[in-house]
Structure formats: C-alpha cells, structure tokens
Amino acid sequence: MDKVVLVRYGEVALKTPYVRSFMERRLLEHIKFILDRNNVKYGEIKLISGRIFVRNVENAYEIAKIVSNIFGVVSTSPAVEVQTKLDSIREAVIEYSRKVLKDNMTFAIRARRVKKFPVKSKDLERILGADVLEALKGRNIRVNLTSPNITIYVEVRSRKTYIFHEVLEGVGGLPYGVEGKAISLVSGGIDSPVATWLIMKRGVKVIPVYFNSGKFTSEEAVEKAHKVMEILRKWVPEKEFYFYEVNYEKALNEMVKKVKPQLVCLACKRTMLKTAIKLAIKEEAKAVITGESLGQVASQTLDNMFAIGYDLKFPILRPLIGLDKEEIVKIARKIGTYNISSKAAVECKASPVFRGYKAAAHADISVISELEETVEIDELVNELVKNTRKVFI
C-alpha cells in the first residue's frame, strides 16, 4: 500500500472544458508551490478524472492539512493506494482497519465506484464489512451504519483504489489569480484583512495598500498592519507578493486643518479610494477592495458609502457588505489574522471620535463636492501616489 493524498475541488469542475483545464493547471501549480515552500517531500502530483493525487508521501496527514488551505481545494484526505483488484482491496481494508479501529469501536464501510468494477458498491461494502468483523473478532468491533465511530471510505477507480477515513475541509473557492487583479485597502484592523482574504478566495490576485498616517496613528497600529500583511502572504501561492505603503501623514494633516471634524472621515475615505484607483490603473488591476460592512460605523452608512464613492467610475468591491461583526470575527480567527488585529492600538488620532466629535453619518453628494474643493483631493492624490513605496514580503 502506498501513501497518497486525495485532493478534491468543486467549482472548478463545473467550468467549460477550456476554463476548467486552465484552472486545474493553476491549482496544480499552486499545490506544488505551497508544498515546496513548506519543504515537504513527495513523489508526484497528478490530475486524474476530477481528482488531484499527491503520491509517495511520508506524512500524508500533514500534507493533506497544508493542501486544504489552498484556494480552490474543497477537501483533502490522507489515503492508501492499492491495485484495483478485489483481493488487493480486501487485504488492504483489513490492514487499514487494524490501524484505525480501536477496541469497542463501531465502523461503517462506504464504497464508491468511479469506473466499472465487477462488484457493485453495496455488495462491496458488505464483503469488506464482513472481512473486517472476521479479522478483528475478539475486539468487540461492531458495524453501525448510522453513526459509526469511524467510516472507512473505499474509492474504486480503473487502475487504483483509495482507502481513507479522514476528510479535511478545504477553503474552497477558485485558484488564486484566475479572476485577475485588484487593489485592496488593508489596515491592521479586523475587517479589511478578512475582506482581502474573501476576494482572494474568489480567484483574485490582490495588491494590498496600507495608508501609514504617521503622527496620527501609533507604532503599535503600524506594526499590526505589517504583521497582517505577513499573514496574508502565507495564503498567496506565488513567489512574489508585495503591498504599497502610502505616506499619508501630510495629506491627513491637510484634512484636519481645513475640514470640519465631523467630515474628516469622509474626506479621508474619498482620498484613500481615489489613491487606490490611481494605483489600480498603474497595476492594471480591475477593482478596489474595501473592508466596509453596511452600518457598522458612521462612515459605512449607505448614505456615506454612496457619497464617498460617487462618480469614481471604477469598480469598488465590498466583500463584507452584508456580514455582521461576529461573522467577520469568525473568519478572522479562521484565517489567522484575529489575534493580531484585535490587539489594542490607537488607529487614528484624526478621527472625530478620538477628538471628541460625532462623525457625520448621512452625508450627501454636495458635501463631497465641497470637500473635493476644500482640500483639493485630486492634488493630494497625485502627491500621495508619488510618495508610495512598494514593500516586498
């Protein structure tokens, strides 16, 4: 019996033949890249009829765990591989059951035939179940088809058969980068890294942008943002990953001087979006991603989002728009950013709340037009793009 890892993908298999072939190739490339980056030893990675197999592995469970965190992978299973011959399958299942079943456990056999096989699936289950009971008699091993302690799966293919009992849930989605490129506004907070990850899961290559507010933020907040970038980098199955860091202090200082405290957040968000759009055009990206969730804070009311984004003529995607805070936190924990993002730090000393004012919650377009003229946002944006550095991780 040879150790292998079964890799399953879902959405990719539903595409047209040309698109499916393209996405499968990218998924294979990403699996190889991630395994190589983790210094994992394996023999080959092969695609066969809707499955990807990582063969000749030493630690199948560890590899299955690593691969399950690759975008596009629905699930993985550490398994053993044998010849598709009834005698070989029977011997292998008996040997496998001896290793995974402990005394007094219940079990079930679930067989699936992908190709023609002389024994029907249900008949094969009965044969293999009887074999296990006979081989393990005296250990109080029993069959339970409704809620067994362990289910042993047998997947019969034309040449090889695969035996496993663990199914590790994958992240799903589409292979990274197959849907093009986007700029993502990322801070050290909880929301924006989650929004970025969700759009990555949909096959988008992201280039994060971090606006460093200098004296208007804290060293802890800057450190949080940089650590969040490092965590996001771990999810990227490519050699190159970088983010833009914008020197935002001077621009924010202009806003604080010239704009009513209640409107500073509106001017700030508008300036950030326009800067991100300029960088998107430079990078030939097709959208800007934000971490906004409808109604979460004053700047994220429907009125304010409409006003801030008015007439920008560029796609602004908001993956979190319909999620509440608990849902966002759950994803942040899953992807590994929560422990960093939740640490206390002074994020913005220019915000109305920090300065003792109530932020405007329902701006209209006329307010945005006034802000554009008051702080000359377009000129600020041109200067910001010049004072932006590219940080490679």
Mean pLDDT, the chain, whole residue set: 96
Say if residue 285's pLDDT is above 90: yes
Single out the residue of 42, 247, 51 nearest to residue 160, CA to CA.
51
The per-residue pLDDT for range 60-110, each reduced to its tens digit, is 999 999 999 999 999 999 999 999 999 999 999 999 999 999 999 999 999
Residues 6 or more apart from 289 whose CB is under 8 A from it? Answer: 182, 183, 184, 185, 195, 196, 199, 204, 206, 317, 318, 319
Say if residue 240's pLDDT is above 80: yes
Of 352 and 129, the structure prediction assigns the larger pLDDT to 129
Residue 74, both tokens: 């629905």
Task: Tell me the backbone φ, ψ of residue 173, rounded to 5 degrees.
Answer: 80, -150
- So what's the pLDDT on residue 359? 85
d(CA 345, CA 227) in angstroms, rounded, equals 14
Rg of the chain (C-alpha set): 27
Mean pLDDT of 151-158: 96
Residues 6 or more apart from 218 whose CB is under 8 A from it? Answer: 345, 346, 347
Residue 48, both tokens: 């066969």
- So what's the pLDDT on residue 236? 98
285 burial type by CB count under 10 A (0-12 exposed, 13-18 middle, 19+ buried): buried
- So what's the pLDDT on residue 237? 98
- So what's the pLDDT on residue 373? 92
The per-residue pLDDT for range 332-372, each reduced to its tens digit, is 999 999 999 999 999 999 988 778 888 899 999 999 999 99
- pLDDT-based confidence at 115, cuts 50/70/90? confident
The per-residue pLDDT for range 287-340, each reduced to its tens digit, is 999 999 999 887 899 999 999 999 999 999 999 999 999 999 999 999 999 999
d(CA 166, CA 64) in angstroms, rounded, equals 10
Residue 192, both tokens: 């924006």
Residue 382, both tokens: 């041109």
**DSSP SS3 for 14:** helix
Task: Tell me the backbone φ, ψ of residue 248, rounded to 5 degrees.
Answer: -100, -5
Single out the residue of 332, 380, 79 nearest to residue 228, CA to CA.
332
d(CA 251, CA 58) in angstroms, rounded, equals 55
Residue indicated by tokens 């041109």: 382
- So what's the pLDDT on residue 72? 98
Mean pLDDT of 23-42: 97
Distance of CA 107 to the CA centre of its chain: 34
